[in-house]
Structure 1
């Protein structure tokens, strides 16, 4: 293993972290969904079908010899396309996809119409410059044809989301034992997939893991994850989603076709002779972590387990529109970058393969002009809708995941955020669910604090062997050096399952509390500050923590001149605090360096307080004892705005006896989005609907209850410290996130806090957490910047 290459590679492994008459003909509705056969084109040859998966002759014009790419299956069952009509037959090809129909080979900029069997128009759009067109969002099982002015195609049947091929479709496909090949999916699209084995093929079979995303997992020149998992004894397969890299098709963020592609990829990889037991696991952080949730819901029979790290619960609420406010600091730029990746030859490695003569990669670029403008989708949909948000919200379907699952993430994740933890109680379909939760950043999930449990999980549920950290002890320091810039993070000696049988080890692992909360990551005793290891941890049987008590502190006194958080409302009526919502007066939390510099142990923050008069704040008295807060919280504000709306940010901090203030967690809400899903909301967690029909301005001259969710967190406030709540306009408390607060126009925001308008902070307090002394240095906790507290 090349140490230098691995160290460099790990630093980028997780970086981003529809007319006319139709003659009706008898139709064969095809086999049952469980025996669904992928259709082939009945007209012009399809660039993604037949032997298109052979990668050309394998020789580039510049003399480079490309890896041998096995051909796609040549033995195909009978097509599911239907007999042609007696009308003039179209010269363009039409092929059904998952809730889609794809047209190729038409004249550019030609209006095509999709019609059903009754001749009713379903949709009509012009073709692109390549003569291609994709009709999306169709009902599975629908019989359709495509017409232009002079001709009509044969009928095809749209593939449903739950329609799956027969096992033989996967069994006959072969991937290389080293380098890049192509996987043929059920609709004929080919996905680029690269293979790295930990040894010679004849020394296998090997336990196998798959990474699946729109980044560059199938780039055969990749290092990092391939080296990592090979060092652990696993075969690693990187697969690019449709519409990215050398994969065919077009790109739309987590449409159903991407999920079923993942199913097909899992089944093809599991069918390889070098894949141990005909079963595979999935791995990945962030984008390839989120993808695991979408694939696992389709329940591929050969999927052994998933490890979704640094993920989201709801694309809308977690990252795109936290609290209904557009995230312009991370979400919009990330989406724009993914669109750039999905452009024709949008990834440099794919362009290089095309230049070297990979004909399949070349042909697979031809549908890219049908990519959906995802940024426009985001900007045009500021409210949650089932059509645009429901399909891409994992919280709505994680109960369909049945395989063993290990989730890991950080409360202060600067990219995907801490909202992921709100769906942990939704994994009800699996009997083996685990989560490791910590303070820190986007990469904590793959850091040395979580790594031992991660390796044990894979060994038990994918490799089905007694876990050993021998390989992990070699890799962990390299991982820490590449991502975190330190060689101080090592794993303990010895294996805790040594001497056990596999069944004994599995029983012991499953007997442990499934929910692990790591505290004070970055302040481990005896290590330099910000080293990515925790100081202590606690285990729990469920999430939310069953013993957590909703504990309220009420806002009292003027939050501008010095407000107090008290155990009960103390102000006589009327009592209120007013501040100006001025986002431009809020300094951003900056750090030096690139996007990955924030993960390193030498990161420094410039975390500043908002300007005078632009925020309100309240403090508890010094705590008599430690207060452990684990889970979601709520800030219940009785609010007025002189302009009828406002964007609210609430921030929880710890003010220490030495005068230092430590960031803990935040929450956001556009006041007009305050309507709650009452069935889902609790005292500790308000769940806004974010529906346009529910949006309403604040009443003029009256206080209105606005409940703002504080994202989940796990933090112990030490005895002698004070809890502080700050309320202002969004911005300044996250290192990467920023917000489109165009609604804020310097409005006066007034918070009522008396016995009639009892605004309060509510947090989940858990007894029995013994925090070690002394408190960690203020600048040592990962993802939690510090500053000198400025009293009003």
Structure 2
């Protein structure tokens, strides 16, 4: 957009005045500010800084507020209805304006069809009049084109951010990058994952699909991490023009998976991520917006007006250490996954150092999706784009968005992408399905005939490939998740540090509890990288060390006589006590090999006072309520059973290896993850006797045909290895 330059205030007022016709707002006239109703929100713009205003519904003052230095004020969490804004000086009332509900009826198709989007930078108008910045890139050839949309609070609409656009246009798709409200050049105010972003996404999907260049007037959604998670929020609104989604490296529940795993605040990744999002959602927070404004984009300029109204996200996080349904439920994709009614392709890694790897917990919640395909493997955050996944991902987009026989461009794109991420070059896609000579219907039928759940084992140890390459050693498929064939198998903690097939027969008087000091300051520091790139390379340098003596406990099996392959979540059921009556627990599962090396497998965390189990808990999957009303200190006398969930994983324990678990204060187990722990050196006792049968329970899948010889532990992606010390 090119216009004569105006001052920031004049541009803001001019734009808002134009949007009020769409949004049902009202001009303030002599009060010199404007009011616009939104979705469960209401905005004031162009007011005098420091002015005190009242939000009125009928005759009742609902809320009060003070205008910020940019002349703006936003109220959130409003019920649908008509509102006015009242000022005392000068005495005036502006309104009423209409506030819509997130579940309200969307606009008619004409609202979307009336918007024109072309190649390059655009703005999409949402139902409340907010404009979202969007950048459109076409593949070679003439349209219409099968189209994919990336939607997030990063910078997908930044014209200079071309990575994802190049990826998808090379695959033959038009690519549209859209910034969510309050980020980039998009208008509105920002709070992570708030409901209005979901309906904005609906509006963006419908506006893009209505364009003449969008083939079939249907679009798919793409993206990894934040733009992967955003797909889930948009798809729950069921846009009629959404063809399919491909969420990669996502979460199933913001609280339990990443923010407060086990009820313990994740200060290593989650808090810094939220801090960075808050910073980048400030006025010109991503940097590239200023260049557009300097070049004459007055819409981008005006869209910065509400940024000072962004809530203090860190204060919200720290103020809600328990699961609060009014906050947690809207950010819990497992609760709205049943609403998603389009085909889904999902992939992620067990040891994901960012989103955490807890995501398989909601795979069985996609009950309305006509197809759910999931691929899971060991590895780091970008593993969902690795060579073992990419071919199936590209085929899915061709079939469900492009409605065409899968093409060959994936063979060009995938190795370049994998090499860029990991630094390993000269790679190629593994053998792919052969669709040559098939019609589209035949190809789609062939794709759908296989098992939907793919487990890739021993990523990084593929035969004939460089060590640490983003390729699996072997793959197995299953009909559904959780794996139907899995058998809950228990190993019981013994008083002397063993894991046995049967519980101890010793009485509490005969079996002295073992104990340790929960001292996070005494643990080795967590492995941190300045950027994710170092961690994603073939052989990162981990600082994964043994727990110092007296600062944790370990239990280990005898050498296995047969193969054990767990796939899914696990449970570590501990009988514990502490004089401090609360403690934070970190449990880590490892493999100890005959050669004396120890391989990381998975971890789990729990604050003992959060031990109350919720509905849906099983013998291998303890689910905690994390409600304040359910929190209980450890008993003054005696032991309490505390069940710690091991995050999902798949691993082959071969004959001769031993299964080990360790328990200590949180820290050091997972790269990038630190914790705001309450542990400060308290003594923790763990009982393992006939009255207190502490145990490890894993979902063991029989009949998995795995290579006989274990891979070099140094080759496994995101599974560091160290020398075992008992």
**TM-score where L is the length of structure 1:** 0.88
Contact 2:37 2:97 (8 Å CA) reproduced: yes
Query: Is residue 174 from structure 1 mapped to residue 116 from structure 2 by the alignment?
Result: yes
What is aligned with 2:11? Answer: none
Query: Is residue 569 from structure 1 mapped to residue 504 from structure 2 by the alignment?
Result: yes
Pick from 237, 240, 250 the counterpart of residue 176 of structure 2. Answer: 237
Q: Distance in 2 between matches of 1:483 and 1:422?
A: 27
Contact 2:24 2:37 (8 Å CA) reproduced: no
In the TM superposition, what whole-angstrom CA distance separates every residue of 1:513-570 from its partner, at most 9, and x where no partner exists? 11111100101011111100101111111111111111111000233xxx33433334
What is aligned with 1:26? Answer: none
- CA deviation after TM superposition for structure 1 residue 588, in Å: 2.5
Q: Distance in 2 between matches of 1:212 and 1:672?
A: 38
Structure 1 pair 592/737, CA: closer, same or farther in 2 (3 Å)?
closer
- CA deviation after TM superposition for structure 1 residue 591, in Å: 6.0
Structure 2 portions without partners, runs of 5+ = 8-14
Contact 2:267 2:673 (8 Å CA) reproduced: yes
Query: Is residue 368 from structure 1 mapped to residue 294 from structure 2 by the alignment?
Result: no
CA RMSD after TM alignment: 2.0
Q: Distance in 2 between matches of 1:268 and 1:107?
A: 35
What is aligned with 1:199? Answer: 140
What is aligned with 1:616? Answer: 553
In the TM superposition, what whole-angstrom CA distance separates every residue of 1:605-635 from its partner, at most 9, and x where no partner exists? 2210111001111111111111010001111
Structure 1 pair 577/365, CA: closer, same or farther in 2 (3 Å)?
same
- CA deviation after TM superposition for structure 1 residue 121, in Å: 1.7
What is aligned with 1:25? Answer: none
What is aligned with 2:462? Answer: 524
In the TM superposition, what whole-angstrom CA distance separates every residue of 1:412-449 from its partner, at most 9, and x where no partner exists? 00000111111111110111111000011100001111
- CA deviation after TM superposition for structure 1 residue 74, in Å: 8.9
Pick from 397, 402, 412 the counterpart of residue 336 of structure 2. Answer: 397
What is aligned with 1:273? Answer: 212
What is aligned with 2:494? Answer: 556
Equivalences for 1:23-102 in 2 at 5 Å? 55-57=1-3, 80=24, 90-102=31-43
Equivalences for 1:309-458 in 2 at 5 Å? 309-458=248-397
Q: Distance in 2 between matches of 1:408 and 1:158?
A: 38
- CA deviation after TM superposition for structure 1 residue 589, in Å: 4.0
Contact 1:514 1:542 (8 Å CA) reproduced: yes
Q: Distance in 2 between matches of 1:606 and 1:664?
A: 15
Pick from 605, 609, 612 the counterpart of residue 668 of structure 1. Answer: 605
Equivalences for 1:616-695 in 2 at 5 Å? 616-677=553-614, 679-695=615-631
Structure 1 pair 79/616, CA: closer, same or farther in 2 (3 Å)?
closer
In the TM superposition, what whole-angstrom CA distance separates every residue of 1:95-137 from its partner, at most 9, and x where no partner exists? 11010111112211112111112x1121111111122111110
Equivalences for 1:190-229 in 2 at 5 Å? 190-199=131-140, 203-229=142-168
SS in structure 1 of the partner of residue 646 of structure 2:
strand
What is aligned with 1:28? Answer: none
Pick from 198, 217, 222 the counterpart of residue 259 of structure 1. Answer: 198
SS in structure 1 of the partner of residue 381 of structure 2:
coil
Contact 1:308 1:406 (8 Å CA) reproduced: yes
Query: Is residue 165 from structure 1 mapped to residue 107 from structure 2 by the alignment?
Result: yes
Contact 1:556 1:566 (8 Å CA) reproduced: no
Q: Distance in 2 between matches of 1:478 and 1:235?
A: 20
Q: Distance in 1 between matches of 2:526 and 2:723?
A: 14
Query: Is residue 185 from structure 1 mapped to residue 126 from structure 2 by the alignment?
Result: yes
Q: Distance in 2 between matches of 1:307 and 1:765?
A: 29
- CA deviation after TM superposition for structure 1 residue 162, in Å: 2.3
Query: Is residue 586 from structure 1 mapped to residue 531 from structure 2 by the alignment?
Result: no
Contact 1:411 1:440 (8 Å CA) reproduced: yes
Pick from 712, 721, 725 the counterpart of residue 786 of structure 1. Answer: 721
Contact 2:23 2:37 (8 Å CA) reproduced: no
- CA deviation after TM superposition for structure 1 residue 459, in Å: 0.5
SS in structure 2 of the partner of residue 299 of structure 1:
coil
Q: Distance in 2 between matches of 1:78 and 1:522?
A: 54
Pick from 106, 114, 134 the counterpart of residue 74 of structure 2. Answer: 134
Contact 1:589 1:608 (8 Å CA) reproduced: no
- CA deviation after TM superposition for structure 1 residue 80, in Å: 4.7
SS in structure 1 of the partner of residue 325 of structure 2:
coil
Query: Is residue 484 from structure 1 mapped to residue 416 from structure 2 by the alignment?
Result: no
Q: Distance in 1 between matches of 2:17 and 2:428?
A: 47
What is aligned with 2:63? Answer: 123
Pick from 731, 740, 745 the counterpart of residue 680 of structure 2. Answer: 745
Structure 1 pair 492/787, CA: closer, same or farther in 2 (3 Å)?
closer
Structure 1 portions without partners, runs of 5+ = 1-54, 62-70
- CA deviation after TM superposition for structure 1 residue 733, in Å: 0.6
SS in structure 2 of the partner of residue 622 of structure 1:
coil
SS in structure 2 of the partner of residue 605 of structure 1:
coil
In the TM superposition, what whole-angstrom CA distance separates every residue of 1:158-183 from its partner, at most 9, and x where no partner exists? 11112311100110111122x21111
SS in structure 2 of the partner of residue 538 of structure 1:
strand
Q: Distance in 2 between matches of 1:459 and 1:606?
A: 42
Contact 1:286 1:310 (8 Å CA) reproduced: yes
- CA deviation after TM superposition for structure 1 residue 77, in Å: 8.2
SS in structure 2 of the partner of residue 456 of structure 1:
helix
Query: Is residue 708 from structure 1 mapped to residue 648 from structure 2 by the alignment?
Result: no
Query: Is residue 755 from structure 1 mapped to residue 690 from structure 2 by the alignment?
Result: yes
Q: Distance in 2 between matches of 1:711 and 1:493?
A: 31
SS in structure 1 of the partner of residue 94 of structure 2:
coil
What is aligned with 1:767? Answer: 702
Q: Distance in 2 between matches of 1:694 and 1:411?
A: 29
Q: Distance in 2 between matches of 1:338 and 1:523?
A: 36
Q: Distance in 2 between matches of 1:547 and 1:494?
A: 27
Contact 2:526 2:674 (8 Å CA) reproduced: no
Pick from 434, 452, 458 the counterpart of residue 496 of structure 1. Answer: 434
Structure 1 pair 337/539, CA: closer, same or farther in 2 (3 Å)?
same
SS in structure 2 of the partner of residue 449 of structure 1:
helix
Contact 1:608 1:732 (8 Å CA) reproduced: yes
In the TM superposition, what whole-angstrom CA distance separates every residue of 1:468-489 from its partner, at most 9, and x where no partner exists? 2x11111112101110101142
Structure 1 pair 73/777, CA: closer, same or farther in 2 (3 Å)?
farther
Q: Distance in 1 between matches of 2:379 and 2:674?
A: 18
Q: Distance in 1 between matches of 2:399 and 2:5?
A: 42
Q: Distance in 1 between matches of 2:440 and 2:476?
A: 26
- CA deviation after TM superposition for structure 1 residue 94, in Å: 1.3
Q: Distance in 2 between matches of 1:78 and 1:326?
A: 42
SS in structure 1 of the partner of residue 706 of structure 2:
coil
In the TM superposition, what whole-angstrom CA distance separates every residue of 1:336-380 from its partner, at most 9, and x where no partner exists? 000111010111211211222211111110110111111111111
Query: Is residue 605 from structure 1 mapped to residue 507 from structure 2 by the alignment?
Result: no
**TM-score where L is the length of structure 2:** 0.95
What is aligned with 2:667? Answer: 731
Pick from 431, 444, 461 the counterpart of residue 506 of structure 1. Answer: 444
Query: Is residue 109 from structure 1 mapped to residue 50 from structure 2 by the alignment?
Result: yes
SS in structure 2 of the partner of residue 389 of structure 1:
helix
- CA deviation after TM superposition for structure 1 residue 153, in Å: 1.1
Q: Distance in 2 between matches of 1:379 and 1:669?
A: 17
Structure 1 pair 144/73, CA: closer, same or farther in 2 (3 Å)?
closer
Q: Distance in 1 between matches of 2:17 and 2:676?
A: 50
**Aligned residue pairs: how many?**
714
Q: Distance in 1 between matches of 2:674 and 2:294?
A: 39
Q: Distance in 1 between matches of 2:21 and 2:544?
A: 63
Contact 2:249 2:349 (8 Å CA) reproduced: yes
